[in-house]
Chain A
């Protein structure tokens, strides 16, 4: 391949291949090679979590959120699912000339609101304006620093028998953005789930939680497959237990899209000790962002992500390839 394609940025197999072949080959080091959601840095025996993310969502305003909220939540969620308390953010804008300042102000208000909600401060930043091109748009990068509370990104902690929890219903963010984009002539009243996952850990702590990851690009399918690849174990997921809104599920099906592959912005996949799973679930349900949490399955010996439907039929949940393409008929 001579060019970057949209698939490469889709959070699926090609993204992973790119990271391995282009980034790690040249830049790999003990921190980067771990490919955690946030790297843990030991500085004067303080364990800091550090991460960065760029936000390119189009349109920048969508039902349930906007690029400003995403820029805060996205980075802070990466810190949160690493087991860190988010503390500081950097904020960089790349804006096309001609982009409305009113929109910029609206985005900054969202950033203020979201960062107050999480409890982080924006402590440095940058703004660049680029020449007008075909699409006038805004791109945001944030980097975040947090203080590690408990390492919940250690693949070696996972063993068969552990339970898997989805902390909220899946598929909403991807579908909300798709329908707002208007490409598919969709008129769906579906709101993005974009939200603050740190709220979960702030309220329920880390007891019994072994591992967490937020299921953004590539959806829960990408997260489960990645954990499977790194841990050497697999999953058996019960389809009937998957939390998903009925209208989201069927609209995605109608489009020929798989709900497991669609992006979320307020869903974490949590792996926990089996004995504690019920009490963790109970606690999760008391927190607003995870009130729809469900135990969806468990870790298995076999190194595959398998979905069992309510009839007992089995199928593989593959690593998504990074494309969301609707079907012909």
Chain B
């Protein structure tokens, strides 16, 4: 528990805040993007925005895996459930995400579909042991969660378990970071880099950031972690010297996690991927390798992946790219609310719009 409490310590937080106050130059803005959805949630939950000087702007990035899942991919889940009598295993975050027709998985469950919320992909095997029909796992997430999906594939293959399939919507970080860096409109001074992603990828993921003369600090998820990294970014910006700072060394090492990496590479390979509101980014997602295609639910059930436009007016893409704050979208809080969402950002446990709506509307 100390691993948490120490990093929430009031005195440490206060001294970091006063250090930030004194280091941040009042004649300029510091625009800092948190890439990871868990950072977004932590920042909102601990009220960090309200504690920082006004000239430090925290901007949410494209790091909520459910939020960047395209409408076409989400609709594929609904197509599968409509066509086939399967058990669907999903992470809790997906339950409230609306399909194009407006319905969500909670509603489908109530209409009799067998949908199970899991904490770990390995739970899928337990589900399979108790049912007599195919089980489909919706594999979603970035580098943090992908190894667990690969772990499931590994168990299935090694133990020759039948009738478990994957809908693979996994995405990867390097390409989207490059997209953000290339975007001329996006004026970011530094990145709060996702700690748990880095634990898998290693620090090299952020080389393009510092090559582009932007600050990078790998951050944990407690208030002390986040503030320490903000301070680090301010210092890098002030000095004009940019490097990858590892401010989460209790978890993250400089090198990649080779075991996780090779597990992923055994079962998955890069594929072009459609990001919600952003479009197709080359090699920014994963698919099952040819020899494991028999585990692919799309092939098994002959599903038809399509590009589906988001509802007109939904500005998920601009939110995900940090171009607008969630509450600057015209639909925010009106047409798009947690109980009637237009996009997944409003209902995912890590969504920027959800974080804003849940924790930050004071008016």
Chain B interface residue count, CB cutoff 8 Å, equals 47
Q: A311-B13, A312-B50 are in contact. List 4 more A-B contacts (CB 8 A).
A: A256-B349, A308-B47, A312-B51, A328-B140
- For B298, the chain A residues whose CB sits under 8 A away are none
Measured CA separation A10–B313 after assembly (Å): 31
Which residue on A lies nearest to B196, using beta carbons?
A329
B223 on the A face (CB < 8 A): yes
B96 near A325: Cβ-Cβ < 8 Å? yes
B65 on the A face (CB < 8 A): yes
Q: Contacting chain A: which of B20-28, B117-125, B151-159, B277-285?
A: B117-125
B1 on the A face (CB < 8 A): yes
Q: How many interface residues does chain A have, given as a range?
A: 35 or more
Please give the distance in Å from A320's CB to the nearest CB on chain B.
10
- For B17, the chain A residues whose CB sits under 8 A away are 311
Please name 19 pairs of A and B residues whose Cβ atoms are closer than 8 Å in the assembled complex, sorted by A: A183-B117, A185-B119, A246-B1, A256-B349, A308-B47, A310-B10, A311-B17, A311-B51, A311-B223, A312-B50, A315-B46, A316-B358, A316-B359, A325-B92, A325-B95, A327-B349, A328-B145, A329-B141, A329-B350
Interface positions of B from 338 to 363, Cβ below 8 Å from A? 338-339, 348-350, 357-362
Measured CA separation A22–B345 after assembly (Å): 30
Q: Contacting chain B: which of A1-9, A35-43, A140-148, A155-163?
A: A1-9
- For A252, the chain B residues whose CB sits under 8 A away are none
Q: Give the contacting residue for B45; candidates A185, A312, A315; CB below 8 A.
A: A315
A328 near B92: Cβ-Cβ < 8 Å? yes
Interface positions of B from 83 to 129, Cβ below 8 Å from A? 91-93, 95-96, 106-107, 109-111, 117, 119-120, 123
Per DSSP, chain A at the interface is loop
A311 near B350: Cβ-Cβ < 8 Å? no
B70 on the A face (CB < 8 A): no
- For A6, the chain B residues whose CB sits under 8 A away are 106, 109-110
A314 near B91: Cβ-Cβ < 8 Å? no
- For A5, the chain B residues whose CB sits under 8 A away are 106-107, 109-110
Which residue on B lies nearest to A256, using beta carbons?
B349
Interface positions of A from 245 to 265, Cβ below 8 Å from B? 246-247, 250, 253, 255-256
A100 on the B face (CB < 8 A): no
Contact with A along B130-149 (1 / 0, CB 8 A): 00000000001100110000
Q: Give the contacting residue for B350; candidates A308, A323, A328; CB below 8 A.
A: A328
A316 near B141: Cβ-Cβ < 8 Å? no
B14 near A311: Cβ-Cβ < 8 Å? yes
User: Assuming the A-B contacts A14-B339, A311-B46, A318-B357, are A323 and B106 also in contact, with contact meaning beta carbons closer than 8 angstroms in the complex?
Assistant: yes
Measured CA separation A7–B348 after assembly (Å): 16
Interface positions of A from 271 to 329, Cβ below 8 Å from B? 304, 306, 308-316, 318, 321, 323, 325-329
- For B109, the chain A residues whose CB sits under 8 A away are 5-6
- For B117, the chain A residues whose CB sits under 8 A away are 183, 325-326
A172 on the B face (CB < 8 A): no
Q: Give the contacting residue for A4; candidates B91, B93, B110, B359; CB below 8 A.
A: B110
B4 on the A face (CB < 8 A): yes
Contact with B along A232-255 (1 / 0, CB 8 A): 000000000000001100100101
Measured CA separation A314–B51 after assembly (Å): 8
B60 on the A face (CB < 8 A): no
B246 on the A face (CB < 8 A): no
B145 near A314: Cβ-Cβ < 8 Å? no
Contact with B along A171-202 (1 / 0, CB 8 A): 00000000000011100000000000000000
B48 on the A face (CB < 8 A): yes
- For B217, the chain A residues whose CB sits under 8 A away are none
Measured CA separation A315–B145 after assembly (Å): 28
Please give the distance in Å from B77's CB to the nearest CB on chain A.
15
Please give the distance in Å from A313's CB to the nearest CB on chain B.
2
